[in-house]
Amino acid sequence: MGTAPRPRMTDLARALGVSQATISNAFNRPDQLRPELRDRILAAAREAGYPGPDPLANTFRRGRTGAVGFIVHEPLQYLFEDATARLTMAGVARACGEHGSSLVLVPRTEPGRPDVVSSALVDGFVAFCDPLEPERTELLRARGLPVIGLDAPVAEGRPYVGIDDRAAARSAAAHLAALGHRHFGVISFPLARGSAPGIAPAGLAAPTDYVANRARLAGYRDGIASALEGGGSAVVVAAAGVEERHGAAAAAALLDLPWPPTAILAMGDRLALGAISAAVARGIAVPGDLSVVGFDDMPDAATARPPLTTVRQPHDEKGAQAVHLLFQQGPPAGPVLLPTALVIRGSTAPPA
Q: How far apart are CA 125 and CA 206, in angstroms?
A: 31
Report the sign of the C-alpha dihedral through residues 78, 81, 84, 89, in that order.
positive
**How does residue 54 score in pLDDT terms, banded at 50, 70 and 90?**
low
Residue 240 pLDDT greater than 90, yes or no:
yes
Q: What is the pLDDT of residue 197?
A: 94
Residue 198 pLDDT greater than 60, yes or no:
yes
Average pLDDT over residues 52-56: 58
Per-residue pLDDT of 118-154, as tens digits, reads 778 888 999 998 777 778 888 888 888 889 999 988 8
Least confident among 192-196, 219-223, 291-295: 192-196
Q: What is the pLDDT of residue 115?
A: 79
Q: What is the pLDDT of residue 282?
A: 96
Least confident among 115-119, 162-166, 241-245: 115-119
Residue 53 pLDDT greater than 60, yes or no:
yes
Q: Exposed/middle/buried for 289, CB within 10 Å: 0-12, 13-18, 19+?
A: middle
Average pLDDT over residues 52-65: 56
Output 334 or 59, whichever has higher pLDDT. Answer: 334
Q: What is the pLDDT of residue 1?
A: 42
Residue 176 pLDDT greater than 90, yes or no:
yes
Per-residue pLDDT of 23-42, as tens digits, reads 878 877 778 889 888 888 88
**Rounded mean pLDDT of the chain?**
89
**How does residue 352 score in pLDDT terms, banded at 50, 70 and 90?**
confident
Q: What is the pLDDT of residue 2?
A: 45
Output 173 or 135, whichever has higher pLDDT. Answer: 173
**How does residue 330 score in pLDDT terms, banded at 50, 70 and 90?**
confident
Residue 323 pLDDT greater than 60, yes or no:
yes
Output 55 or 345, whichever has higher pLDDT. Answer: 345
